Amino acid sequence: MKQSCNVNLKISEELLRKFLYVSQKENRSPAAQFAFMVRNNVAYYEKTKGKIPDAELKKLDISEYATEEN
């Protein structure tokens, strides 16, 4: 089974509306837009600060966020 994760996010109504506007203009669902932004943010971080070591990633506990899809 594929593992996915859920993240709750608290933002202002104005920021949510702007996010939904951008999602629509980019022809992405809000979930796809969020994933796109996260990927870009991680890529920027790794470009400016170096690759995140796999060993460090494996230390992180994601059980609070992980769910299993059928």
Rounded to two decimals, the pTM is 0.82
Secondary structure letter of residue 27 according to DSSP: T
Secondary structure letter of residue 53 according to DSSP: P
Q: Which one-letter amino acid corresponds to residue 70?
A: N
Number of domains in the chain: 1
Phi/psi of residue 67, each to 5°? -135, 155
- Domain containing 40 equals 3-68
Residue range 6-54, pLDDT digits in tens: 889 999 999 999 999 999 999 999 999 999 999 999 999 999 999 999 9
